[in-house]
Amino acid sequence: MSPRQADSAMGLAEFAAAARVLGALFYRAPDDTTVRPFLELIARGELASLWPAGEPGVLDATSTTMRAALVRPEAQQALKREHQRLFIGPDELPAPPWGSVYLEEEGTLFGETTEALQDFLAAEGVVLDSGQNEPEDHIGLLFWAAALLAEEGREAALRTLLADHLLSWSGPYLQALNDATTNGFYRGLVTLTRLTLAEARTLLALPAPASDA
């Protein structure tokens, strides 16, 4: 087992909880029953005190930005429209949430990197049953897989999942998502994701990926 870093403020349990939330926010619609409680928490201004990764000042600013997007008039409808545009379509997605788009030379889905992820998940006994016919390298599904491994204390597998199958492309994806939206909620989601992955790198002593260089 690789040593965890003492200077990380986040443990495996805290990472697992954060990863479960991030997975839902990336994968589920804003009106989904798994998402609504977290949106209500943000609307109450409680995000900064509860999120396990990030400096207080950054979390305060992120909480304010996300809350503003949730409490303005017609916020729910605006959030649903933006989720549809960013993650569903029917138009071409401005920031596709699948890893192979950023890792494959042709930017295709179901490429060699997806097959490598499928082999890894099968070897680890991790089943990602989304009910959809889509690649497993969706960022939301990967966060759920990471949460499962963290909950079970499987640090070696978690390190491999993050280093080889998520951090290898999350930098370009998150930048593309940030550039694709002006919605404060989804820009805040980008920030929360960056903070959480940075803390996970410290927790698990992972090197910074080439995509962050």
| pTM assigned to the model | 0.92
d(CA 202, CA 4): 8
**Which domains are seen in the chain, by residue range?**
12-203 (1.10.3480.10)
Tens digit of each residue's pLDDT, the chain (213 residues): 233 344 557 999 999 999 999 999 999 999 999 999 999 999 999 999 999 999 999 999 999 999 999 998 899 999 999 999 999 999 999 999 999 999 998 888 989 999 999 999 999 999 987 777 789 999 999 999 999 999 999 999 999 999 999 999 999 999 999 999 999 999 999 999 999 999 999 999 998 776 554
Of 83, 60, 11, 70, give the one whose Cα is nearest residue 38: 70
Half-sphere exposure of 20 toward its Cβ, with a 13 Å CA cutoff? 13
